[in-house]
């Protein structure tokens, strides 16, 4: 409880929020929080401002944007139009609880907020950045949200104008931090907005507005790209599965794609470890996650062929939990697990099986332990599980659903979640032929040290997609590729700086973590290092993404501290393979290739003796 109260009290961003309040925190970003707010400008004042700023686009005013809306069959209304000069800043600051940091260092642009739906109880908003310097190849970047966040993600939108693209983000129809769910209780329409409708409606209307703003001819293409992580990953997959015309390419990170299965599982994971009192022998206290991590590192680091503090092949490691179990020879009981605690850890790794042994959702990957505090720390199951069950699934007032006596959430909840899929948010259509046939491309990526959304879930999704296309892996790789990022936590960075593995590929939330004025991968703004640029080259020029070079810095979230390591991440089933001679911290010493299994088994033997 204490942990979650702390989190709620803070002005939370995405999961970055967890970073700053946890005892096992990510290293802190020194980003200054810009408090400047740009609310609605009066027309007269606006005119004056326009005259002052000769560089501002002449169409960046409420009257012109209202005239655009007038030509469209929509009930949407202009909420705000603000011209932003070069090196300016824009956002809603503290009025946008999940995204309070306004991007700075922006190129000159027009910031627009549109409100769709007039009823106070049911409406959604979306924001647009319309850069003055729009590239000749017309492009739009749509960005996603995180957790249950309700707010426009202005910080991630900033990448758009830096690439001379327009940018769009929706608030998903409510106003809350990433961990609040009470807004959904008894509110079918808000659930649907969050589930898919706000995203879809914003994309459709946003494209029309952009076309008219730039007076684009109907036969000219507006290339549209998506970038999102976690819930953002889910939103992107959901949209491209059902509406194949929406995007030309999507950069999908750590997607929380199967809401109806994943969120109950996140509750179930909590039940493995709670209640957190001494009478529960199965409870692993927070301080022992580190012990587990250290043991995983000891047994699994070398299995990938290189003893470098990065577990790159967790699936190849035959981890023996027994090594950690207290015995008659134990002298220090802080350094071992009881048999019951080891059983809890085993279940967290194994994943969730039904009574008949069907896999309901895969568990957390070996090497994610440093981030286990998110789901298993504190004193009650996380809001991603408990909040979902109470407010999405049961519309419960909090009194009827009592988790404290439960060891498992039960078949009824699982079946209900499957049947109802509240908000219809699950992205479970594996047949994306229509998207593929239009030339659509997907880069899917997931950190192997993710302690919140299981990495094996993304891999499972990828496998299901391959199965859907008749097992044709090569065919599938022509339009969707899956990249595992060793050592990366949920969406970004390396939890607790351990092991400070290369993580940054310019994905969702990543630039913002390096500072409010940051975009792409600082110092490496090219298609080899930036996933969005790689995606655009793949979609527009057919350059398949054979690898991406991930970067980390001496201080993982301070790009001025000097590059520490760069290493390719590779499209599965390829792996980054070391050349055996070069500096392991240099990307050139690695290539994407099939893993050498002999080496793996040899290393495994070595570790075992």
Which residues form the interface with ligand NAG (CB under 6 A)? 73, 87, 95, 97, 104, 175, 332, 334-335, 362, 456, 459-460, 463
CB of 455 to Ca ion, least distance (A): 16
Locus of tokens 């500096």:
583
362 binds, among Ca ion, ligand NAG, none (CB under 5 to 8 A by kind): ligand NAG
**Which residue number, 344 or 367, has a Cβ lying nearer to Ca ion?**
367
Decide which of ligand NAG, Ca ion, none touches 95; Cβ closer than 5 to 8 Å per partner kind: ligand NAG
Q: Which does 334 bind (CB under 5 to 8 A by kind): Ca ion, ligand NAG, none?
A: ligand NAG
Hey, how many other C-beta atoms are within 10 angstroms of the C-beta on 135?
A: 12
User: Do residues 169 and 143 lie in contact, with contact meaning Cβ atoms separated by under 8 Å?
Assistant: yes
Nearest-approach distance from CB 505 to Ca ion, in angstroms: 19
Residue 194 DSSP class: I
Under a CB-based contact definition with an 8 Å cutoff, are residues 529 and 506 in contact? yes
Give the separation between CA 77 and CA 69, rounded to whole angstroms: 7
Residue 138 or 162: the one with the smaller Cβ distance to ligand NAG is 162
Q: Which is nearer to ligand NAG, 430 or 460 (CB)?
A: 460
Report the partner that residue 335 touches, choosing among ligand NAG, Ca ion, none (CB closer than 5 to 8 A by kind). ligand NAG
Distance CA 73, CA 70 (A): 7
Angle at 149 (CA atoms; ends 520, 144), nearest 5 degrees: 35
Give whichever of 99 and 225 is closer to ligand NAG, judged by the CB atom: 99
3-state secondary structure 114-158: EEECCCCCCCEEEEEEEECCCCCCCEEEEECCCCCCECCCHHHHC
268 binds, options Ca ion, ligand NAG, none, Cβ within 5 to 8 A by partner type: none
CB of 582 to Ca ion, least distance (A): 15
- Return d(Cα 93, Cα 448) in angstroms, integer: 33
Q: Which does 301 bind (CB under 5 to 8 A by kind): Ca ion, ligand NAG, none?
A: Ca ion
Three-class secondary structure of residue 578 per DSSP:
strand
The residues of the shown chain that bind Ca ion, judged by CB under 5 A, are 301, 304, 306, 308, 310
Q: Is 127 or 422 the residue whose CB approaches ligand NAG more closely? A: 127
Which helix (H) or strand (E) element contains residue 574?
strand 574-578
Q: How far is the CB of 293 from Ca ion (least distance, A)?
A: 14
Shortest Cβ 445–ligand NAG spacing (Å):
15
Tell me whether strands 139-143 and 166-170 are parallel, antiparallel or unpaired: parallel
Q: Say which entry of Ca ion, ligand NAG, none residue 601 contacts (CB below 5 to 8 A, set by partner kind).
A: none
- Residue 304 or residue 595: which is nearer to Ca ion going by CB? 304
Residue 493's nearest CA partner among 414, 413, 552 is 552
CB of 471 to ligand NAG, least distance (A): 9
Relative to beta strand 574-578, strand 590-594 is: antiparallel
Q: Cβ 513 to Ca ion, closest distance in Å?
A: 24
Residue 147 DSSP label:
T
Query: For residue 247, which of 192, 191, 193, 206 has the smallest C-alpha distance?
Result: 206
Helices (H), 87-167: 154-157, 159-162
- Judged by beta carbon distances under 5 to 8 A according to partner kind, the member of Ca ion, ligand NAG, none in contact with residue 561 is none
Q: How many angstroms separate the CA atoms of 269 and 362, rounded? A: 11
Specify the residue, 116 or 448, whose C-beta has the smaller distance to Ca ion.
Answer: 448
Q: Which does 304 bind (CB under 5 to 8 A by kind): ligand NAG, Ca ion, none?
A: Ca ion
Give the nearest distance from C-beta 362 to ligand NAG in angstroms. 5
Q: Which is nearer to ligand NAG, 151 or 236 (CB)?
A: 151
Query: CB of 462: closest distance to Ca ion in angstroms?
Result: 23
Spatial CB neighbours of 420, under 8 Å, sequence gap ≥ 6: 260, 393
Asked if residue 244 lies in contact with residue 432, where contact means CB atoms within 8 angstroms, the answer is yes
Q: Which is nearer to ligand NAG, 517 or 531 (CB)?
A: 517
Q: What does 306 interact with, of Ca ion, ligand NAG, none (CB < 5 to 8 A by kind)?
A: Ca ion
Helix-then-strand count for the chain, H and E: 21, 15
Name which of 247 and 361 has its Cβ closer to ligand NAG.
361
Q: What is the smallest separation between the CB atom of 73 and ligand NAG, expressed in angstroms?
A: 4
């Amino acid at each position: 409880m204490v942990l979650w109260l702390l989190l709620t009290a803070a002005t939370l961003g995405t999961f970055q929020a967890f970073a700053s309040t946890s005892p096992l925190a990510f290293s802190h970003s020194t980003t200054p929080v810009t408090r400047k707010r740009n609310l609605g400008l009066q027309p007269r004042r606006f005119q004056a401002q326009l005259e002052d700023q000769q560089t501002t686009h002449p169409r960046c005013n409420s009257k012109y944007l209202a005239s655009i809306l007038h030509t469209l069959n929509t009930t949407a209304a202009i909420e705000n139009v603000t011209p932003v000069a070069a090196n300016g800043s824009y956002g809603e600051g503290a009025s946008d609880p999940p995204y309070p940091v306004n991007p700075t260092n922006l190129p000159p642009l027009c910031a627009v907020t549109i409100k769709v739906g007039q009823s106070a109880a049911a409406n959604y908003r979306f924001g647009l950045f319309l850069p003055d310097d729009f590239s000749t190849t017309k492009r739009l970047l749509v960005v996603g949200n995180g957790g249950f966040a309700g707010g426009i993600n202005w910080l991630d939108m900033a990448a758009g104008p830096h690439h001379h693209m327009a940018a769009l983000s929706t608030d998903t129809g409510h106003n809350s931090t990433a961990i609040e769910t009470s807004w959904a209780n008894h509110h079918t329409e808000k659930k649907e907005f969050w589930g898919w409708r706000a995203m879809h409606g914003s994309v459709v209307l946003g494209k029309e507005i952009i076309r008219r703003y730039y007076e684009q001819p109907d036969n000219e293409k507006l290339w549209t790209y998506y970038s999102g992580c976690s819930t953002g990953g889910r939103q992107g997959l959901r949209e491209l599965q059902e509406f194949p015309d929406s995007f030309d390419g999507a950069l999908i990170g750590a997607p929380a794609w199967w809401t109806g299965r994943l969120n109950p599982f996140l509750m179930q994971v909590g039940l493995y470890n709670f209640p957190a009192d001494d009478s529960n022998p199965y409870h692993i206290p927070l301080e022992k996650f580190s012990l587990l991590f250290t043991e995983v590192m000891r047994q699994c680091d070398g299995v990938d062929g290189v003893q470098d503090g990065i577990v790159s092949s967790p699936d190849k490691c035959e981890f023996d939990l027994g090594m950690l179990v207290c015995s008659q020879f134990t002298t220090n009981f802080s350094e071992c697990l009881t048999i019951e605690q080891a059983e809890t850890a085993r279940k967290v790794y194994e994943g969730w099986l039904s009574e008949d042994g069907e896999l309901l959702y895969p568990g957390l990957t070996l090497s994610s332990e440093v981030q286990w505090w998110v789901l298993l720390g504190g004193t009650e199951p996380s809001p991603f599980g408990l909040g979902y069950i109470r407010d999405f699934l049961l519309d419960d007032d909090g009194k009827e659903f009592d988790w404290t006596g439960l060891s498992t959430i039960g078949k009824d909840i699982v079946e209900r979640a499957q049947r109802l899929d509240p908000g219809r948010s699950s992205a479970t259509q594996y047949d994306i032929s229509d998207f593929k046939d239009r030339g659509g491309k997907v880069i899917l990526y997931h950190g192997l040290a993710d302690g919140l959304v299981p990495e094996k879930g993304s891999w499972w999704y990828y496998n299901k997609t391959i199965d859907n296309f008749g097992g044709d892996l090569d065919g599938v790789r022509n339009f969707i590729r899956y990249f595992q990022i060793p050592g990366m936590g949920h969406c970004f960075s390396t939890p607790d700086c351990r092991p400070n593995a290369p993580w940054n590929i310019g994905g969702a939330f990543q630039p913002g973590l390096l500072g409010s004025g940051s975009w792409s991968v600082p110092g490496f703004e090219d298609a080899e290092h930036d996933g969005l640029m790689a995606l655009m080259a793949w979609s527009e020029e057919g350059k398949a993404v054979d690898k991406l070079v991930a970067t980390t810095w001496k201080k993982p979230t301070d790009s001025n501290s000097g590059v520490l390591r760069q290493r390719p991440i590779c499209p599965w089933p390829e792996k980054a393979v070391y050349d055996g001679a070069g500096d392991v911290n240099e990307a050139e010493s690695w290539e994407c290739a099939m893993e050498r299994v002999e080496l793996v088994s040899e290393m495994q033997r070595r570790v075992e003796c």
